[in-house]
Structure 1
Amino acid sequence: MIGLLILVLLCSNIVNLSSGMATPKCTKPSLRREWRTLGYDGQKAFIDAIKCLSHLPHESLIPTGATPGLPPILTNSSLYDDVVYVHMDATNSAHSTGLFLPWHRLYLHTMEGLLKKKCGYKGYMTYWDWTIDSHNIEHAPLFNADPVIGFGTFPDASTNFSLSNGAFHDIIRAYPLAHHIQRNYTLKSWQTPLFSWPFPLPQKEANSTQTPAEYVKITTSFIGNFTAFQYYMDGYGLQGMHGATHTSLGGNIKDLSHSPNDPIFFLHHGQLDRVWAAWQAHHPRNHNTIAGFVVQDLDDFDAHPLGTGMPVTDDTAIYMAGIGPDAKIHDVLSTTGGYLCYQYAT
């Protein structure tokens, strides 16, 4: 009888061997809410935590070597700069590969953990639903001059497109060189090439990818086809809803490598993670599907939108380079699977 009891207890505490920790149950998922629904106090708490992280000192990093040619780690930088560096380190491995969505999901989770642990943040990661503002992205409510809760209005050439108002106008970012946060809105942002080839549709307007209709299309199409889903998010010629926000907002967030220098990055990728979660919830065949490869191929992106080389599997590792625990893809396929425990408000 005692042996049977021990066996039952062991079975009730199943161990996740990939992470070396007991798999917890997600019984009360946290609720990630859209930025404008947080109210003044919620917005202030989030921005205060971002600013706190921007003033805490650098901690140790363990670069994975995924992206060659990175600048040396600046030990006199901030903990927020460490977060940026981790994204720089994953420029090649976590973009236009099968790791893109799982890696960024873990990255947001890790950032939320840092805000809580290091800066006492009591809330959760948030997101910007740009479909609400797709008719006029440049004047979306979050781009305001309020010194406490504003992300700053769009600057002009007189400041070299550096923020001159809002809560982050005096913040210095370390990478790639010391600078103030920059932003520069351009509706037809694909007229200027970013890669070794021109964009195929240079006259396409960025906000055409950010509409409510596009949200419905991507979240209800491509049943069971993760490759087609992610390819649509990135878009033909990399002119989809993912790149639209990066390229049109300009400045720091336009740069694939160090785009998290602008805190808007986290609200944008919160929205993209929400899109993925909504697609996963739309049909059972979407729940745990993953696809793609580990080697980025931007020179032939449309032929290999999720990369080449070794296929990713649910056992493929995701590295956070020291700012938080690493994980496996299967750990983050569900936002309520235990390793993660959150939902989106809508």
Structure 2
Amino acid sequence: MYSLKLLVSFCLASFSAAAALPQTATTSVAAASCVNPPKRQEWRQLSLQQRKSYIDAVLCLTKKAAKSGVAGAVHRYDDYVAVHSSQTPNIHWVGHFILWHRYFTATFEKALREDCGYTGGQPYWDWSLDAEPQNPNSTRVFDSDIFNPQTGFGGNGNKIKPTPEQNTFNITEGTGGGCVQTGPFVETNFIINLPTKGCLRRDFIPSIMNTFADPKLVANVMAQPDYTSWAKEVEGVPSFDVPDIHGSGHFGVGGVLGTAGNAANSPGEPIFYLHHGNLDHLFWQWQQKDLKTRLNQVGGPIVAFDYGGQNVTLDFTINLGKLAGEATLKSLLDTQGGTLCYTY
């Protein structure tokens, strides 16, 4: 498909340009009771009013002042791009990848609810329902409700041909690349200030979306016997020659020039949270198969790809700076354990 061996370099290059997090909190998030946890649903399960309420809350964050303290962040939505960018690549191809992003997405969900009046749970997008792996060039996946310009997140960007310097991976099937043209996140409504001020960009690539979101790949991930193998399988290897489900929503939507395809700054794409919400839903489902074991099991490298080195443990901590305090991996395994409070 593609000869792409530089995905790791892509992450590292993005990280080198990112601002560092300010000094973070050192105290752990206090465990608390989880009362009336919001229930997360697939986007198509939401009523039209619920969809509007979610999108309105996302846009609301762009009207709140930033609080992360990361240079360049202007509004609260920027805060999430800033924190993710600052911690890339230390949060990819590592044992804490899925739990870091679980905490990150839950913190975003909490901001929507507490700061912008959203009353629902973070929705997710099950892209495996839309993919046509038997017909990789089909564009039907982009007819999904998620991209509806009236009741969803809008469609593609205008067509822009990337330069060779931009297209490090020699991807030739990009269909967009410019600012999104339809929906609630067009440039007049939605501006991201990191890494520089600009519009939301999309570059739909049908072949990536259809093959990386293949239900067979999902089934393979869900068949893994333990946490370490699950975490390794969900991210796959840094090559577009070997599809992986994590890459689906990033590179199928973001392509070469789109926001979602930028490893460090991908949370600038609002669909990011529904994409990672789906990965979290899959992880939650996998946990349900053996809760006694899987609420007490982690593994995988602390340093990206260092499978022969030091592994994460239950007391390994992650930190989202001023957005959320320090949390152990153990505390993030249970979505209703106090540090987190939501269900599916």
- Do the structures match in fold with TM over 0.5? yes
For residue 323 of structure 1, report the CA deviation from its aligned partner. Answer: 1.2
C-alpha contact (below 8 Å) 1:152/1:165 kept by paired residues: yes
Cα 1:172–1:94 shift into 2, 3 Å: same
For residue 234 of structure 1, report the CA deviation from its aligned partner. Answer: 1.3
Cα 1:125–1:20 shift into 2, 3 Å: closer
| Structure possessing the higher radius of gyration over alpha carbons | 1
> Is 2:66 the counterpart of 1:40?
no
Deviations 1:311-339 (A, max 9, x none): 21111111111112221111111112232
C-alpha contact (below 8 Å) 1:186/1:248 kept by paired residues: yes
C-alpha contact (below 8 Å) 2:41/2:124 kept by paired residues: yes
Computed over aligned residues only, the root mean square deviation of the Cα atoms, in angstroms, reads 2.2
Identical columns (%): 31
| Corresponding residue to 2:130 among 116, 128, 133 | 133
Aligned equivalents of 2:54, 2:284: Cα separation in 1: 22
Q: How many residues align?
A: 288
Aligned equivalents of 1:210, 1:60: Cα separation in 2: 33
Cα 1:340–1:58 shift into 2, 3 Å: closer
Aligned equivalents of 1:20, 1:138: Cα separation in 2: 39
Q: How does 1:37-116 map to 2 (within 5 A)?
A: 37-61=45-69, 73-74=71-72, 77-116=74-113
Q: What one-letter code is carried by the residue in structure 1 that aligns with 2:147?
A: F
Cα 1:255–1:20 shift into 2, 3 Å: closer
Range moving further from structure 2, 132-141 or 282-291: 282-291
Alignment correspondent of 1:207: 210
Aligned equivalents of 2:38, 2:29: Cα separation in 1: 24
For residue 183 of structure 1, report the CA deviation from its aligned partner. Answer: 0.4
C-alpha contact (below 8 Å) 1:112/1:125 kept by paired residues: yes
Cα 1:20–1:109 shift into 2, 3 Å: closer
Aligned equivalents of 1:20, 1:338: Cα separation in 2: 9
Alignment correspondent of 2:219: 216
> Is 2:159 the counterpart of 1:157?
yes
Q: How does 1:1-346 map to 2 (within 5 A)?
A: 19=28, 21=30, 23-26=31-34, 28-61=36-69, 73-74=71-72, 77-135=74-132, 136-146=140-150, 149-157=151-159, 161-170=178-187, 171-189=190-208, 206-219=209-222, 221-223=223-225, 225-238=226-239, 239-250=243-254, 251-283=258-290, 284-297=292-305, 304=306, 309-344=309-344
Aligned equivalents of 2:29, 2:200: Cα separation in 1: 39
- TM-score normalized by the length of structure 2: 0.78
Aligned equivalents of 1:113, 1:322: Cα separation in 2: 14
Q: What one-letter code is carried by the residue in structure 2 that aligns with 1:163?
A: V
Aligned equivalents of 1:325, 1:120: Cα separation in 2: 22
Q: With CA pairs under 8 Å and 6+ residues apart, which has the higher RCO, 1 or 2? A: 2
C-alpha contact (below 8 Å) 1:32/1:343 kept by paired residues: yes
Q: What one-letter code is carried by the residue in structure 1 that aligns with 2:296?
A: N
Q: What one-letter code is carried by the residue in structure 1 that aligns with 2:149?
A: A
C-alpha contact (below 8 Å) 2:72/2:195 kept by paired residues: no
Deviations 1:98-134 (A, max 9, x none): 1201100100111011112221211111100111111
Q: What one-letter code is carried by the residue in structure 1 that aligns with 2:28?
A: S
For residue 272 of structure 1, report the CA deviation from its aligned partner. Answer: 0.3
Aligned equivalents of 1:20, 1:259: Cα separation in 2: 26
Partner of 2:323, secondary structure, is coil
Aligned equivalents of 1:87, 1:343: Cα separation in 2: 24
Aligned equivalents of 1:310, 1:78: Cα separation in 2: 37
- TM-score normalized by the length of structure 1: 0.77
Q: Which runs of 5+ in 1 are unaligned?
A: 1-17, 64-72, 190-205, 298-303
Larger relative strand fraction? 1
For residue 245 of structure 1, report the CA deviation from its aligned partner. Answer: 1.9
Partner of 1:335, secondary structure, is coil
Aligned equivalents of 1:228, 1:207: Cα separation in 2: 24
